[in-house]
Amino acid sequence: MPSALETLVKILKLEQDTGYRNTAVIGGLQSFANNWAGDAHRQARRPEHHQLVDEMVSKLRGYEALDTIEARHEAVRYMLGRVTGRIPPPDGLPPAPPDEQPAEEAGPPEPPAPDEAAMPPDESSVSLADENTPEPTPPAEIEPPGERADEGDEGEEGEDAEASAPPAAKPHPGFQRGKPRPALPADEAIARFSQLQETPVTVLHKVGEKMAEKLERLGLTSIRDMLFNYPARYDDYTRMRTLNKLRPGEVTTVIVAVQSVVRRQARGGRPYLMMTVDDDTAKMRVTFFGQMWLERQFRRGSQVVLSGNVELFRGELMMTNPEWEMVEREHLHTGRIVPVYSLTKGLAARTMRRLMNQTIDEYADQVPDYLPESVLSRTELADLNWALHQIHFPESHRALEDARTRLTFDDLFIFQSAMMRQRRAWQSAPGQPIVVGDEWLEPFKDNLPFDLTTAQRRAIREILADMAKDVPMNRLLQGDVGSGKTAVAAIAMGAAVRAGKQAALMAPTSILAEQHARSVTDLLRLAPDGEHMQVRLLTGNTSEAERQEIYAGLADGSIDVIIGTHALIQEGVQFNALGLAVIDEQHRFGVEQRGTLRSKGTNPHLLVMTATPIPRTLALTLYADLDLTIIDEIPPGRTPIDTRVIGLSERERAYGFIQSQIAKGRQAFIVYPLVEASEKLDDVGAATDEYERLSKEVFHQQRVGLLHGRMTPSEKEDVMATFARGELDILVSTSVVEVGIDVPNASVILIENAERFGLAQLHQFRGRVGRGAHKSFCILVSAAPTSDAQQRLQALEDTTDGFKLAEIDWKLRGAGDILGLRQSGGAEFRLTEAVNPRLVELAQREARTVYAEDPDFAAPEHQFLAWRVNALLDWRADVS
């Protein structure tokens, strides 16, 4: 839904464009005012927003009575100026006083923590510092335990205690932003930002060449990189667990004192350290393998922070190879939320924290804000400089939340703006209209072996309508596994051929390409002129001779439809007249590959397809450069897949069940989250190890294959093809099996450690079975004792709707899983857990409002934004 302000801006612009004749809307602006007022008031959140709405309504009502073009011109200019914040409110309407509005309605949803509940929301930092914490320790006295021992092991950088002192608290603006700061002129803002980008990390105290190299390994070369290098997580020293509250199976952080450290030998002769630690409530054992030097680090009595999985071993609590850190006394004293950054070899946590602290202190206030003032005041987002301080060194949970909200909004807003700009660029190039008549389309549909679903028909209608235009189509076809996207694509490709053009379909693997070639060939034969359509397959397996022949056929136009893999975007491929490019499983391809395929024609129409369900709200941002069609219907007559969540004790029975299915001639998938057991996640079944066990012990009479992401593409293809031919009974796999491989004979999929996957991804796995005539089963094995995980998995038993599952995932686990699927560069949304529906909608609304008013970002207050947006687009290196 567009925002009320966006609608108003559009109408006012239209009124401008049509010469101020009060014709932009039927009935005139005065009648529009009445409808608009309701929406606008509903969306308003602060008194001055309501004042603005009332003012606009009265102007709109008075518009008709203005009898000169000049007066109307002036009225429209004024209204646009007010909406965009260029013109301040008239004198009669005072701006809301900065300190009187409690932030309750628009505040973040997190309930106040007990320690914050008594604080007035606005002066938290001051009261926290003054009343709740001891005087800051003078720097000279800070000598955290373990400091001396650090030196030997942490490399060249010694710690200077001074720099580790907590940063000065900044006032919390919350939603009281006070008087807007005068915006910098765009060129000055750009110059400042570029400067931060060009300032090398070596300007920081004690950062020399060696340290700079380490930082570079983390992708940090400039001060700008440092500023936006958000913590990977936080250790909350205000709310840690005590040992007596630990629960086995949970990853927890504790602060403990070291009682003893002894060297032991494992049975195989491997030495390890056995440490006993305690706090005031209980004792715990901790073992460290392969880090014998820690013996010197952990002295009796030293305070350590341990973070790891809690296990129960012979009735005792224990952790194995937890992440650890010496306690820094100042953190304990101030009860801070401490940032934890990604590290690299030779870069200690405290060193990194010191560097970040220095960066923030010296540079955070120099970052110019690119958000136009109008957006800032409408959204009530925190100040950018303040947010940068707080994201790194938060003074409270509330502050951290507000900072996250602000910075996540920025990512979403810039991304959305960039996508809209990209779309505008594409659409400004003339396309090639492809028009087919009903005399072709209707018999084609009638000849299909099934009735198209309503959703398929709607998709076809939308796609053909797009293709008929002289603007190139850019459409995303999203539909659950098995929803019948191939038939829709086949009809679109047929239409292109019918109109005298060529069509190409690119899939991520040869197996998929071969499957598509078979089904598309079969489908196109049913078109009225189908027997004349030349369909060919081009993959990495195509012989040299055939490839040359295909190249020639594509160049002279004798081949109408080409289906293939990356082989389609090789240099030798040239089309005579590519009219439609289709990309399947689009998230497997980068933006560049999409662009390369497109560039093989003259602005061909583009259809990208995905089976990855993404909540609609989020899709509208992630794919704002595309139009969206969703097939939300599965063809009738499918037997739903029987899904069960089971515990570890039932696993043997599940194996028995798999054997019985294989005895009936069926095949099975067994999926594990990781390739190899890592020391960190040693409770995770690893595909490689488990493959050994399963093939030698449990399923020694069956034929078992292994598939994982570290195999080469051709090794992977070989295994999958062997399985697809029925020459393997069981395929043991990591998550790579997710790609739409079609093995109709497979009837069981068993997924280990199911709680580690997102629901949408589990749903994708589940879609690997149930593709044939056989009743199919999905078994989710989960050891998770927590009811949260159980409940989440339960959703898979209850629903087969991928979009519903994606929504649930989003609510329960945040957007991380979903955004992780978008593999076009991880840096786009760094604070994934904060990407919530409310924020996504807000960013969309604001980006669209700015875009509606100024699509070229030509206004002075949008120039810096334009610069940032272009930087993102350049970075994505889209060739189109």
Residues that bind Mg ion (CB under 5 A): 740
| Residue 41 CB partners (closer than 8 Å, separation 6+) | 50, 53
By CB atoms closer than 10 A (0-12, 13-18, 19+), residue 69 is exposed
Site for ligand ADP contains 772 (CB under 6 A): no
Q: What minimum distance in Å lies between the beta carbon of 667 and ligand ADP?
A: 18
Stretch that binds ligand ADP, among 432-440, 461-469, 478-486, 869-877 (CB under 6 A): 478-486
Q: Could you tell me which residues are beta bridge partners of residue 313? A: 316
Site for ligand ADP contains 800 (CB under 6 A): no
Stretch that binds ligand ADP, among 169-177, 364-372, 476-484, 528-536 (CB under 6 A): 476-484
Query: Among ligand ADP, Mg ion, none, what binds residue 450 when CB lies within 5 to 8 Å by partner kind?
Result: ligand ADP
Q: How far is 314 from 485, CA to CA, in rounded Å?
A: 54
Query: Among ligand ADP, Mg ion, none, what binds residue 869 when CB lies within 5 to 8 Å by partner kind?
Result: none
The CA distances from residue 232 to 338, 391, 771, in Å, are: 11, 11, 40
Nearer to Mg ion, 146 or 740 (CB): 740
The DSSP H or E segment spanning 802 is helix 802-813
Q: What minimum distance in Å lies between the beta carbon of 451 and ligand ADP?
A: 6
Q: What minimum distance in Å lies between the beta carbon of 79 and ligand ADP?
A: 47
Q: What minimum distance in Å lies between the beta carbon of 173 and ligand ADP?
A: 49
- Please pick, from the candidates 308, 484, 508, 615, the single residue that binds ligand ADP as defined by CB under 6 A: 484
Query: Among Mg ion, ligand ADP, none, what binds residue 452 when CB lies within 5 to 8 Å by partner kind?
Result: ligand ADP
Site for ligand ADP contains 542 (CB under 6 A): no
Residue nearest to ligand ADP (CB): 484
The DSSP H or E segment spanning 659 is helix 651-663
Q: Print the binding letters for residues 608-627 with ligand ADP: x by CB under 6 A, - otherwise.
A: ---x----------------
Site for ligand ADP contains 195 (CB under 6 A): no
Q: What minimum distance in Å lies between the beta carbon of 740 and Mg ion?
A: 5
Nearer to ligand ADP, 298 or 623 (CB): 623
- Please pick, from the candidates 483, 612, 735, 832, the single residue that binds ligand ADP as defined by CB under 6 A: 483
Question: 852-857: which pairs have CB atoms within 8 A and are 24 or more residues apart?
Answer: 852/6, 852/9, 852/10, 852/13, 853/9, 853/13, 853/80, 853/83, 853/84, 855/420, 855/421, 855/424, 857/421
- Please pick, from the candidates 334, 358, 379, 453, the single residue that binds ligand ADP as defined by CB under 6 A: 453
Nearer to ligand ADP, 89 or 482 (CB): 482
Q: What minimum distance in Å lies between the beta carbon of 487 and ligand ADP?
A: 5
Amino acid at 103: A
What does the H/E/C string look like for 272-291? EEEEEEECCCCEEEEEEECC
And the tokens for 651?
């696993």
Query: Among Mg ion, ligand ADP, none, what binds residue 635 when CB lies within 5 to 8 Å by partner kind?
Result: ligand ADP
Reference 595, options 867, 815, 880; nearest CA is 880
Stretch that binds ligand ADP, among 11-19, 201-209, 328-336, 445-453 (CB under 6 A): 445-453
Nearer to Mg ion, 579 or 740 (CB): 740
Q: Print the binding letters for residues 623-662 with ligand ADP: x by CB under 6 A, - otherwise.
A: ------------x---------------------------
Site for ligand ADP contains 726 (CB under 6 A): no
Site for ligand ADP contains 482 (CB under 6 A): yes
| Residue 822 CB partners (closer than 8 Å, separation 6+) | 587, 622, 828
Nearer to Mg ion, 173 or 802 (CB): 802
- DSSP conformation class of 131: I
And the tokens for 683?
């409770």
Q: Apex CA 79: angle with CA 75 and CA 83, to 5°?
A: 175
The DSSP H or E segment spanning 581 is strand 578-583
Per the CB < 8 A criterion, the answer to whether 619 and 770 are in contact is no
- Count of all residues that appear for the chain in the document: 880
Query: Among ligand ADP, Mg ion, none, what binds residue 372 when CB lies within 5 to 8 Å by partner kind?
Result: none
The DSSP H or E segment spanning 652 is helix 651-663
Site for ligand ADP contains 508 (CB under 6 A): no
Other Cβ atoms within 10 Å of 756 Cβ, number: 18
Q: How far is 222 from 226, CA to CA, in rounded Å?
A: 6
Nearer to ligand ADP, 5 or 520 (CB): 520
Query: Among Mg ion, ligand ADP, none, what binds residue 522 when CB lies within 5 to 8 Å by partner kind?
Result: none
- Please pick, from the candidates 7, 321, 351, 456, the single residue that binds ligand ADP as defined by CB under 6 A: 456
Nearer to ligand ADP, 522 or 788 (CB): 522
Nearer to ligand ADP, 452 or 646 (CB): 452
Nearer to Mg ion, 144 or 767 (CB): 767
Q: What minimum distance in Å lies between the beta carbon of 742 and ligand ADP?
A: 7
Q: What minimum distance in Å lies between the beta carbon of 488 and ligand ADP?
A: 8
Q: What minimum distance in Å lies between the beta carbon of 510 and ligand ADP?
A: 17
And the tokens for 408?
């996540």
Helix axes 510-524, 713-724, angle to 10 degrees: 50
| Residue 385 CB partners (closer than 8 Å, separation 6+) | 364, 365, 367, 369
Query: Among Mg ion, ligand ADP, none, what binds residue 684 when CB lies within 5 to 8 Å by partner kind?
Result: none
Number of H helices, E strands in the chain: 32, 22
Amino acid at 493: M
Q: What minimum distance in Å lies between the beta carbon of 461 and ligand ADP?
A: 15
The DSSP H or E segment spanning 358 is helix 349-363
Residue nearest to Mg ion (CB): 740
- Please pick, from the candidates 336, 475, 485, 566, the single residue that binds ligand ADP as defined by CB under 6 A: 485
Of the CA atoms within 13 Å of residue 250, those in its CB half-sphere come to: 14
And the tokens for 457?
């028909």
Per the CB < 8 A criterion, the answer to whether 609 and 585 are in contact is yes
Stretch that binds ligand ADP, among 28-36, 226-234, 282-290, 447-455 (CB under 6 A): 447-455
Q: How far is 669 from 662, CA to CA, in rounded Å?
A: 11
Return the percent helix, strand and coil in the chain, to nearest 5. 45, 15, 40
Q: Roughly how many angstroms between the first and final C-alpha of the chain, as a whole number?
A: 29
Query: Among ligand ADP, Mg ion, none, what binds residue 481 when CB lies within 5 to 8 Å by partner kind?
Result: ligand ADP
Site for ligand ADP contains 486 (CB under 6 A): yes
Stretch that binds ligand ADP, among 353-361, 363-371, 451-459, 681-689 (CB under 6 A): 451-459
Reference 228, options 58, 392, 338; nearest CA is 392
Number of residues that bind ligand ADP (CB under 6 A): 15
Site for ligand ADP contains 859 (CB under 6 A): no
Per the CB < 8 A criterion, the answer to whether 491 and 460 are in contact is yes
Query: Among Mg ion, ligand ADP, none, what binds residue 479 when CB lies within 5 to 8 Å by partner kind?
Result: ligand ADP
Q: What minimum distance in Å lies between the beta carbon of 412 and ligand ADP?
A: 29
Q: How far is 437 from 681, CA to CA, in rounded Å?
A: 59
Site for ligand ADP contains 22 (CB under 6 A): no
Nearer to ligand ADP, 277 or 611 (CB): 611
Positions touching ligand ADP (CB under 6 A) are 450-453, 456, 479, 481-487, 611, 635
